[in-house]
Amino acid sequence: MSFRSGVATFAGKSSYWFLHTFLHGGSSLPGKITLKLDPNILRTLGAKYDVIVITGTNGKTLTTALTVSVLHEKYPSILTNPTGSNMEQGIVTTFLNAKNPKTGRPLAVLEVDEANVIKVTQYIEPKAFVFTNIFRDQMDRYGEIYTTYQKILDGVALAPNATIIANGDSPIFHSKELPNPIEYYGFDDQPDTDMKAKPNTDGVLCPNCEHILHYHSLTYSNQGKYFCPNCGFSRPELTYRLTKLGEQTPTSSKFEIDGHPFKIQVGGTYNIYNALAAYAVGRFMGVTPIQISNAFNANQQVFGRQEVIDVDGKRVTIILVKNPVGLDQVLHMIGTDTHPFSLVGLLNANYADGIDTSWIWDGDFEQLADRDIPTVITGGERYKDITFRLKVAGIPDDRHIVEPNLEKVVDEIKKVSTDRVYVLATYTAMLQMRKILADKGYVKEGLGL
């Protein structure tokens, strides 16, 4: 370690200690301070680790949490960023907080923002990359899906020997030839048919001939067993297959992968993809199916991702939403709840959320009008936008409470008639809500912003 790196590391660790001792935490500032003193600090901090990078639009945080649980079945020392602080400064902070490994070469399983992959691979060559999916998201930062994928590939190009473990059901991950070894995971539980994705679905043009892709089976959006009837482009051979889809509820999912039965303690088809990715990483790293099943059964709560919090007897489930595809999958998931529930929508438009809120108009909020939801609450910094969107979707005024102040939103949640409450929140709104709940003693700790 150079003198400069040593000073930077000491400053970063000192600021981390101060923030977490006196100011209830902070995942960004220690990394910012360290990078200011040594912009190349990741080369020093990451030198001792075998790194697995998990990136993509949706599902990074849960995929990372599940992957860490799976790998802990075989590997005792794993560094990770569990709260989803996935930009360069947050990743630096994660390394600053690491305990020095006593033996061997430890693993680091890192959730990494798509545009920040290259900021990691400039200094660290990962052992593997995990690609979850690419959907239209935060267009002010990423642009269209092909621009987002290119940002990832710019980082991958610096690590040509790393294995890519990719969602084989996503056509974009098979659209370019790469030098890396590649393993694919996906769904293979339905007989072949011939269908198309819904109109206006992104990413359904063949990358070879630009003909509209067809599907032998579809899971959601543009994901499934795709093929081009014009030129023969098709889904690659899968290395890891979901072979059976079982019972799904808002709080659990049963399924089989490669013939082995599994259950996770979260609902939603999109979360089964996350589990499938974690399974693929586990098998790549030599973890057995039985060990993976044990990890999935651990019932681990994930920060802000379908995290269930008891608020004076109300079962409050906090769910991050940030783009139309993810929103629609969440709405479909909570729609499977057979119990009465109330709904809260919290919309912010800060940099980490995406400053363009137009994406809410592409989400299928209209399906909520078909449910007898006794109370809907809208709030957050852009409460006017989400309030008007739900009004247009058909939510009656007499059931709709508008409350910009999140502390007062908590008070309103305590008054609803249902025992179950789903809170759909953008990233910074989720952090703000969770901190309020932490300050009130409903969760053990919050995250300093």
Q: Return the active site residues.
A: 356
Tokens in use for 382? 């852009």
Dihedral angle sign, alpha carbons of residues 238, 239, 242, 243 = positive
- Beta strands (DSSP E) in 59-131 are 78-80, 107-111, 128-131
The dihedral over CA atoms of 368, 371, 375, 380, expressed in degrees to the nearest 10, equals -10
- Tell me the residue type at 115: A
Neighbours of 394 (CB within 10 A): 12
Tokens in use for 199? 């109109």
Percent of the chain that is helix, strand, coil (3-state, to 5): 35, 20, 40
Cα–Cα dist 449/436, whole Å: 12
Neighbours of 310 (CB within 10 A): 11
Give Cα separations from 441 to 61, 91, 435, 437 (angstroms): 24, 28, 10, 6
Cα–Cα dist 259/289, whole Å: 10
The dihedral over CA atoms of 137, 138, 141, 143, expressed in degrees to the nearest 10, equals 50
The 3-state DSSP class for residue 240 equals strand
